[in-house]
Amino acid sequence: MHEYCKLIDLLKFISESNLDGVLSETTKLIKILLTIPMTTTESECCFWTLKTIKTFLRSTMNQERLNALAMISTEKNFLTSHPEIKEKVIDFFSQNKTRRMDFIFK
């Protein structure tokens, strides 16, 4: 049995072992736990980031773009520590023929 010290490692193991279907509720719970801020300072940091983004690009941005930029900005540490995610996103968009996509979240 593997010992994990982080939820992200457990989620990665479940995904790599193709246990998503078997442990679907556990996977959902881990994803929820990973997105909930641990402290109020983390939430305050997100609000500060949002304020910075809104001030910088207030006149040219719609709500969807603002949400996307806020998500990227607040998850900057995660993205820098996992460079494979950036590569997957770049590959996905470089292979796509259309320039605009509709993202549907479930």
Q: What is the pLDDT of residues 31-42, one digit of tens each?
A: 888 777 666 566
Q: Quick one: pLDDT at residue 98? A: 64
- What SS3 state is found at 39? coil
Q: What does pLDDT average to over the chain?
A: 73
For the purposes of burial, counting CB atoms within 10 Å of the CB of 22, is it exposed (0-12), middle (13-18) or buried (19 or more)? exposed
Q: Quick one: pLDDT at residue 42? A: 61
Q: How far apart are CA 44 and CA 13, in angstroms?
A: 31
Q: Quick one: pLDDT at residue 2? A: 55
User: 37-46, 62-71, 72-81: which range is least confident on average?
Assistant: 37-46
pLDDT(3) > 60: no
